[in-house]
Structure 1
């Protein structure tokens, strides 16, 4: 079983005297194991409620798939013989696509997230996207992103240095297989020990994954000489590098960020103080897991933030709870900044009428977190990935169990 929780790296330096709450120095191994256990149990409960089969039934059975692959090869051979016309290529973009397959025959890895299956939350999706991108590079395939749940991610983020969009017609008539799913793990062994292209010998691999495969792929001897420079580093840096090659905000999102941060001096250290407060099950997320932070514990966070907010222009609070938003406004007054957007879980409430608005809120709030001078994250992949994209351990903390602890992503 692959643990979907992030790995917490202990930060052992002493906390400075200006922090006004009692701050524990580190997370014990017992606490870490309990956190991981709680998150696994929460995800299993969610999948059960969502009516999905256990992951063992969702995973592609490699051995029983051999016959299907042989039939698919025969179909591809027939198609090739009948197809005498030239294939069209979309050259309407100037974005770099150097990782695309060289040669006469393209093959693809499509990271798939649609409404037919669970995709998990935003942070989980992000790590799966970057992992699929790296897998496409080492297997010499075209990487394609197809994320349409709860609405197209292209509404908010657009290709940056790599164009992950292709015409739908480009995949028509090609042999294909769907691999993985939320909490599926069989393909991990293939990525670590085998030739992915031989095991999944199809033109198109639709990969449903929210797993962090970076270190798994990098450990495969077959791919040692194919790892791009951006991935030859620590996990958090590799994620940041890969994500920034793929994504940049649309003009619409950039305008929203500029409006929210009006008056904030991002060049002045300490001018923007931020926290992500993940509560879990509450009025806005009635079907979420309850094992997050309690409303009662938020006072400890406010006390920790007080000395930082005193010297800041604004304090930004990202949260999954309207109650937390109101508490922040009462505590910090005019300095309080929040998106005011719709709060939902983008996967568990993907069928609601406000799901697309909630998707936009999640992406916008994480983008703000990446710009903060002081950042407190929760035990949530949403803000952990935001910290990765922020790219520094300076004034980075974690809020959990009514305590605030220094958090270190690695060297």
Structure 2
């Protein structure tokens, strides 16, 4: 009888412990889901070294040696921030990401004609880079339209510009060149057929052996699609993602991984670095408000697409800035696709206006007469980098250029405002951005 009572007590205690453990796990899981889906903000811890660096770079450095050291310090601090001080990317295995992948297996993002603007291209680059990690393929980038990307951006930690090893061999007898690796071209740009887009999306979403479907040695891929949702939901590759320190599907999001991946992949050439430093190392007396105003078709870029929802965008943004008395002494950094907007801002703000000199161009929609678009691409990329490194307040259009540029800010949802359909919305998380677009015809009215 005593033995039976003892066993009964132990059983009851065991059940109680089990139930309590399950309850704790469920509460933690529920809290994690809520944080991911409803408060998708980047919670950050700014290291003292980063603060010290910011304070120490408040004077203009004139000597080349000091400028070079400043560039290196800034780049290192940006990378360290996303690897060490950002809760969403903390624990990413950088060594595994930049390591060589399967020998003779490659995934190449290509852009040789009409790939969209810089925002569209970044969406495609990041999707194919993430896919290359998932498939254990070496990643490369080939952008030649309107000119070679390496004229403006160089590899940083991942050498995406390295030639494909063994792609072409020379016959020792005839001296003829021939391809030594099998190749396949995939095109999933906006102009691709719907059935192709649907088929590719399904393969990425739920196929357990993607490399057996696309078995060629070199996959060339032209795309401007965001495939992170499909990749995150493919349960057969979860273990592979965990090997890179990406532990849950909720971390496989473009908005989370983009700023880290950008620092891993890209380093601006010296000319763009110097342009950026001229703004960043200028003594800062007042907050800087960044305004990214994309109007669509206008006299500066007459072949651009019409964006009816942005007819009054410049007046709305400038009135919004002026309506706040605390902005009276703020400097205004402006990037725009419209010369008339710049002229209006100069007349309105005078010496308070910060602007990168150069001619306004669009990568796809400006006529590249005498390589004009190539010459001015350094202005475009300087603008892009400053959106992520200069701003205390950001007011952007509902465009890829502004969105990706803003995501490079250490606190991208702090003082972020987005113009859409005649209104300016305060955006505090990705959830707010999704809701704004949902209310405006999935962003089409923006």
Q: TM-score scaled by structure 1? A: 0.70
**Number of residue equivalences:** 312
Q: Distance in 2 between matches of 1:188 and 1:294?
A: 32
1:168/1:143 CA distance change after superposition, 3 Å = closer
Aligned pair partner of 1:108 in 106, 109, 118: 106
**TM alignment of 1:207-356, pairs within 5 A:** 207-227=221-241, 228-229=244-245, 233=251, 234-265=253-284, 271-291=287-307, 294=310, 296-306=312-322, 307=324, 309-312=327-330, 314-349=331-366, 351-353=368-370, 354-356=372-374
Q: Distance in 1 between matches of 2:313 and 2:342?
A: 14
Q: TM-score scaled by structure 2? A: 0.65
For the residue of structure 2 that corresponds to 1:119, the secondary structure is: coil
1:380 lines up with 2:399 in the alignment: yes
1:136 lines up with 2:132 in the alignment: yes
- The alpha-carbon deviation at position 399 of structure 1 amounts to 1.6
1:297/1:222 CA distance change after superposition, 3 Å = closer
- The alpha-carbon deviation at position 383 of structure 1 amounts to 0.2
Q: Distance in 1 between matches of 2:334 and 2:238?
A: 42
Q: Distance in 2 between matches of 1:178 and 1:278?
A: 33
For the residue of structure 2 that corresponds to 1:259, the secondary structure is: helix
- The alpha-carbon deviation at position 334 of structure 1 amounts to 0.3
- The alpha-carbon deviation at position 98 of structure 1 amounts to 3.8
Given that residues 309 and 421 in structure 2 are in contact (C-alpha distance below 8 angstroms), is that contact kept between their aligned partners in structure 1?
yes
Given that residues 295 and 324 in structure 1 are in contact (C-alpha distance below 8 angstroms), is that contact kept between their aligned partners in structure 2?
no
Given that residues 397 and 407 in structure 1 are in contact (C-alpha distance below 8 angstroms), is that contact kept between their aligned partners in structure 2?
yes
For the residue of structure 1 that corresponds to 2:142, the secondary structure is: strand
Given that residues 97 and 161 in structure 1 are in contact (C-alpha distance below 8 angstroms), is that contact kept between their aligned partners in structure 2?
no
1:202 lines up with 2:216 in the alignment: yes
1:237/1:198 CA distance change after superposition, 3 Å = same
1:154 lines up with 2:174 in the alignment: no
1:219/1:400 CA distance change after superposition, 3 Å = same
Structure ranking higher in helix proportion: 2
Aligned pair partner of 1:174 in 181, 200, 206: 181
For the residue of structure 1 that corresponds to 2:130, the secondary structure is: helix
Given that residues 369 and 387 in structure 1 are in contact (C-alpha distance below 8 angstroms), is that contact kept between their aligned partners in structure 2?
yes
- Coordinate RMSD, CA, aligned: 2.4
Give CA deviations for 1:44-68 in whole Å, capped at 9, x if unaligned.
xxxxxxxxxxxxxxxxxxxxxxxxx
Given that residues 114 and 145 in structure 2 are in contact (C-alpha distance below 8 angstroms), is that contact kept between their aligned partners in structure 1?
no
Q: Distance in 2 between matches of 1:100 and 1:204?
A: 15
Q: Distance in 2 between matches of 1:349 and 1:377?
A: 22
Residue number in structure 2 paired with 1:65: none
Gaps of 5+ in 1: 1-8, 12-94
Bigger-Rg structure (1/2): 2
Q: Distance in 1 between matches of 2:246 and 2:343?
A: 41
Gaps of 5+ in 2: 1-36, 40-94, 169-179, 432-446
Given that residues 150 and 359 in structure 1 are in contact (C-alpha distance below 8 angstroms), is that contact kept between their aligned partners in structure 2?
no
Q: Distance in 2 between matches of 1:292 and 1:390?
A: 29
1:167/1:343 CA distance change after superposition, 3 Å = same
Q: Distance in 1 between matches of 2:429 and 2:120?
A: 17
1:10/1:123 CA distance change after superposition, 3 Å = farther
1:409/1:161 CA distance change after superposition, 3 Å = farther
Given that residues 127 and 239 in structure 1 are in contact (C-alpha distance below 8 angstroms), is that contact kept between their aligned partners in structure 2?
no
Given that residues 278 and 378 in structure 1 are in contact (C-alpha distance below 8 angstroms), is that contact kept between their aligned partners in structure 2?
yes
Q: Distance in 1 between matches of 2:309 and 2:355?
A: 19
**TM alignment of 1:11-160, pairs within 5 A:** 98-102=98-102, 105-114=103-112, 117-160=113-156
Q: Distance in 2 between matches of 1:282 and 1:165?
A: 35
Given that residues 108 and 143 in structure 1 are in contact (C-alpha distance below 8 angstroms), is that contact kept between their aligned partners in structure 2?
yes
Given that residues 296 and 304 in structure 2 are in contact (C-alpha distance below 8 angstroms), is that contact kept between their aligned partners in structure 1?
yes
Larger relative contact order (Cα-Cα within 8 Å, sequence gap ≥ 6): 1
